[in-house]
Amino acid sequence: MTGFVKAGRADDVPLLEGRTVRLGARRVAIFRTPDGFHALAAACPHRAGPLADGILADSCVTCPLHGWRFDLRTGAGMGEHPGVEAFEVVQRDDELWLRVPEDLRDAA
C-alpha cells in the first residue's frame, strides 16, 4: 500500500480507547470507536498531554491533562485552541496501516 506504514494490530486497541505507536521520533495515537479507527498526533499542543490516554466521546478525544478536545476525524481543536495532525487509518485483516508523510515512512 503506497504511502502507508504498518502501525500494529487492530486487536491491540480496545473499543473506546487509544494506544500510542512510534514512527521514528514521532508518536501517533490510534483510537478505536464504534465507527472504526482514527489516528492523531499523540501529544496535545498545550502541554504535550498524552492524547491516547484521553476520554473518547462525541467523535472527539479530550486531553487528560487540561481538557482540550480534538475531532478524531480531522484533528481540529474543538474551541479556541489549535488542532493536531490527523492520519488516515486502514484496517486490513487484523493489521492497522497509517497513511503518513514521506519523512515518517522512512522512519517507520
Strands in the chain per DSSP E: 4-9, 17-23, 26-33, 36-41, 55-57, 60-62, 69-71, 86-92, 95-99
Tell me what pLDDT residue 107 has: 54
- The residue written with cell numbers 500510542 in the block is 20
Question: What is the number of other CB atoms lying within 10 angstroms of the CB of residue 26?
Answer: 17
d(CA 84, CA 43) in angstroms, rounded, equals 8
Would you write out the chain's pLDDT as a tens digit for each of its 108 residues?
A: 678 999 999 999 999 999 999 987 889 999 999 999 999 999 999 999 999 999 999 999 999 999 999 999 999 999 999 999 999 999 999 999 999 877 665 555
d(CA 92, CA 83) in angstroms, rounded, equals 28
Domains and CATH numbers, the chain: 4-100 (2.102.10.10)
